[in-house]
Structure 1
């Protein structure tokens, strides 16, 4: 495994202020947040695969709106069938018991259905995957022709070595210097695997932040705010280079 299992840090953080501009509609029975670029084009799309707090989390919705503001059609589905984890989860909550109901057996069919809709009915010609924490595993699993064309993940969780080794497209990673999940050793292992492949890759590491910073950091702290903004800019630059080519 090139990143560890879910931990306490996967559910904690700060709530961000803002008003979502997108809309929630269903793909089949999958609740999904949609954000459109100003020209309403769906040709260049981004599929956001969220952390465990899910697609109704305002922090994630604001990020989706930011990607739309950069010219991308954004689709962000509920990966958990409504069984999301509250931010700063209640005392006694066991994340490892929760995740037993949200493994690949349950999650893959959701992503399969959403990608099918995007490619067949929503007019998406090229799709980039953005994975935060839990979602990072699935960016790697789906970074293959006909699924995801380009990938970006921040502080990925539960990525198996074979999943990373099996990617078939460009992958960019944003990492935190202090991360009990995507540790220094796991990051170095990932670097070795990526360097053995014939696809573009990038790993940026940010100081003064912890696991989850790209979504749930404390924006009142300038260094954390800067790291979050730079991780987003990293993703946009990656997609501008490899998704819009």
Structure 2
């Protein structure tokens, strides 16, 4: 599912410090003085702009430095993301309450239609096979035994799906698309959910159902989870934030802090948390 805010937003400032690998991935190595296990790593799954947009690289750099582990950002779209950086436009509704006009709806449809073949080519069946092989290869070649994952929008759906398997050890799910009850019921790993106040890709009803399912699972020994709802935000705030809005800026910064704290615990084999100690 792609909503209008999936394809809008802003580019973060900053110069990426990592490097593009032969397979197209972006990689930022662990700091030399890190005390985190060398067998731990983080994998970052992008939105539909992929690695052409600066944002995932800037965020991956920060995570590598603060978590203290290698961070990898796979090229989910093999160099051809469905949306180009030049397609990025300001949000119609950077904060809740915007009422979409008929013309805006028509404009969105005309924007999306030419992109549908590209989106179909990265449907879950295809993407999940690629991600599975990617993680398996990293583990084999780099010796990783603990993998934390984080994903935004399109990538949030990937982290949700992989939280049900044995390839990852914890997942951050930021304003995801494609949330369905069977996927939530299949979760086996700790999950941190970063949710916008208004999100057409994750409705209030679906978000509440997901939490109810996880609460029921936890009461009978299921995995740790936490939902964080950010007032004054819309879909995309954690990936392509409209930083001129104070609540959006605060939410973006807090969501990144919680992501780092959660993945730091996962990387060190500690109980999951989003609170600094």
TM-score norm. by structure 2 comes to 0.80
Aligned to 1:79: 76
Single out whichever of 65-74 and 108-117 deviates more from structure 2.
108-117
What is the distance in 2 between the residues matched to 1:131 and 1:79? 12
1:204-232 deviations in whole A, cap 9, x for unaligned? 01111110100101223322111111001
1:93 aligns with 2:117: no
Aligned to 2:214: 194
8 Å contact from structure 1 (residues 12, 87) kept in 2: no
1:43 is displaced (CA, Å) by 1.9
SS at match of 1:130: strand
The alignment yields a C-alpha RMSD, in angstroms, of: 1.8
Q: 1:44 aligns with which of 40, 43, 53?
A: 40
8 Å contact from structure 2 (residues 237, 251) kept in 1: yes
Q: How does 1:5-20 map to 2 (within 5 A)?
A: 5-20=1-16
Q: 1:205 aligns with which of 229, 232, 235?
A: 229
Identify, as 1 or 2, the structure richer in helix: 2
1:157 is displaced (CA, Å) by 0.4
Aligned to 1:31: 24
1:97 is displaced (CA, Å) by 4.7
Q: How does 1:158-237 map to 2 (within 5 A)?
A: 158-197=178-217, 198-237=222-261
1:111 aligns with 2:145: no
Give structure 1 regions of 4+ aligned residues with deviation exceeding 6 angstroms. Answer: none
Change (3 A) 1:88 1:189: farther
Q: Which has the larger radius of gyration?
A: 2
Aligned to 2:155: 135
1:136-177 deviations in whole A, cap 9, x for unaligned? 121122124531110101101012321221111100000010
1:243 is displaced (CA, Å) by 3.4
Unpaired runs of 5+ residues, structure 2, are: 89-106, 270-277
1:40-98 deviations in whole A, cap 9, x for unaligned? 77422111111101023211110000110111210101111222112463863215454
8 Å contact from structure 1 (residues 11, 88) kept in 2: no
What is the distance in 1 between the residues matched to 2:208 and 2:148? 24
1:193 is displaced (CA, Å) by 1.5
8 Å contact from structure 2 (residues 148, 266) kept in 1: no
What is the distance in 1 between the residues matched to 2:216 and 2:158? 20
SS at match of 1:107: helix
SS at match of 1:17: coil
Aligned to 2:175: 155
